[in-house]
């Protein structure tokens, strides 16, 4: 098993050198720093990275550690240097095997089954109209959901707001029924 990677903590001197390299005016340097960090995070997020802030900070740390070596001879837009380092950091990240999600616990699976059983039990206690309404109300996504809810309100001859209120009341009743059902199952 490989040794864990040594985590480098950026010293205050390294951070000060980085800020001075970005701009001799410390306040302006802080603004540039924040802009660079934000842009790095945006790029990583666009690449669907799971930890964009972490990799952006790692990129900035690496640049900060190199500032004393490059500051005298580097010319050009400094953010381009950050982008180059970012590409290296991101490639290293992609080479690492992804950490697998933990397997669902047996207890979580049992809880899910119990909740589903209670939901079915509580749905069956509703009137046929209420059961039909709540199933349809939550059956679609995005634009189809909007269109469906408009159609339901028109069919029932009520406004969208009244439809929402009816669905909310039914849902609140279901929630209470499910909680009671789960509590009774847990008492056995």
Domain containing 116 — which CATH number? 1.10.10
Quote the crossing angle between the two packed helices 78-95 and 52-70, to the nearest 10°: 130
Q: Is residue 117 part of a domain?
A: yes
Question: What's the 3-state SS for 61-89?
Answer: HHHHHHHHHHCCCCCCCHHHHHHHHHHHH
Residue 7 falls inside a structural domain: no
Q: Which residues contact 57 (CB under 8 A, 6 or more apart)?
A: 37
Could you tell me the residue range of the domain that residue 172 belongs to? 106-186
pLDDT by residue (tens digit) across 120-157?
999 999 999 999 999 988 888 778 888 888 999 999 99
Query: What is the per-residue pLDDT for 20?
Result: 93
- Total number of domains in the chain: 2
Handedness of CA 56, 62, 63, 64 (dihedral sign): positive
Residue in this structure with the two tokens 């509703």, named with its chain if needed: 126
For residues 82 and 63, the answer to whether their CB atoms sit within 8 Å is yes
Looking at the structure, tell me whether residues 135 and 158 fall in a common domain: yes
pLDDT of residue 3: 40
Token pair for residue 38?
């934000």
pLDDT band, residue 1 (cuts 50/70/90): very low
Answer yes or no: do 85 and 151 share one domain.
no
Are both 91 and 110 inside the same structural domain? Answer: no
The vertex-125 CA angle with 122 and 126, nearest 5°, equals 100
Please state, for a pLDDT cut of 70, what percent of the chain lies above it.
Answer: 93
Model confidence at 180, pLDDT cuts 50, 70, 90, reads very high
Q: Does residue 79 form part of some domain?
A: yes
Q: Are residues 150 and 77 in the same domain?
A: no
Residues 88 and 116 in one domain: no
Q: What pLDDT, on a 0 to 100 scale, did the predictor assign at position 104?
A: 67
Q: Which of 73, 95, 117 is the last residue of a domain?
A: 95
- The pLDDT assigned to 8 comes to 57
Q: Is residue 47 part of a domain?
A: yes
pLDDT confidence bin for 7, thresholds 50/70/90: low
Measured between alpha carbons, how far is 133 from 149 in angstroms, rounded to an integer? 10
In a domain? residue 1 = no
pLDDT at 41: 93
If asked whether residues 83 and 134 sit together in one domain, one would say: no
Query: Do the domain assignments include residue 114?
Result: yes
Would the pLDDT of 2 be above 50? no
Is 80 exceeded by the pLDDT of residue 161? yes
What band does 5 get if pLDDT is binned at 50, 70 and 90? very low
Same domain as 171, residue 111:
yes
Domain stops at, among 95, 130, 145: 95
State the CB neighbour count (10 A cutoff) for residue 6. Answer: 5
Given a contact cutoff of 8 angstroms between Cβ atoms, the answer to whether 153 and 98 are in contact is: no
Q: Which is higher by pLDDT, 21 or 102?
A: 21
Domain end residue (candidates: 95, 117, 145)? 95
Q: Which residues of 127-163 are buried (b: 16+ CB within 10 A; e: fewer)?
A: eeebbebbeebeeeeeeeeeebbeebbeeeeeeeeeb
């Amino acid at each position: 098993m490989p040794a864990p990677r040594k985590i480098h903590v950026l010293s205050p001197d390294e951070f000060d050198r980085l800020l001075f390299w970005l701009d001799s005016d410390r306040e302006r340097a802080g603004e540039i720093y924040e802009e660079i960090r934000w842009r790095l995070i945006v790029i990583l997020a666009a690449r669907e990275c799971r930890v964009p802030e972490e990799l952006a900070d790692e990129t900035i740390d690496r640049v900060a550690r190199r500032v004393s070596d490059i500051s005298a001879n580097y010319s050009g837009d400094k953010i381009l240097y950050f982008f180059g380092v970012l590409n290296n950091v991101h490639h290293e990240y992609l080479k690492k095997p992804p950490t697998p999600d933990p397997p669902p616990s047996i207890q979580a699976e049992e809880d899910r089954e119990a909740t589903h059983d209670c939901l079915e039990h509580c749905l069956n206690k509703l009137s046929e109209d209420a059961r039909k309404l709540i199933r349809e109300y939550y059956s679609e996504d995005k634009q189809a959901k909007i269109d469906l809810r408009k159609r339901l309100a028109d069919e029932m001859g009520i406004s969208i707001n009244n439809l929402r209120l009816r669905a909310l009341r039914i849902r609140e009743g279901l929630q209470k029924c499910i909680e009671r059902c789960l509590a009774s199952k847990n008492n056995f």
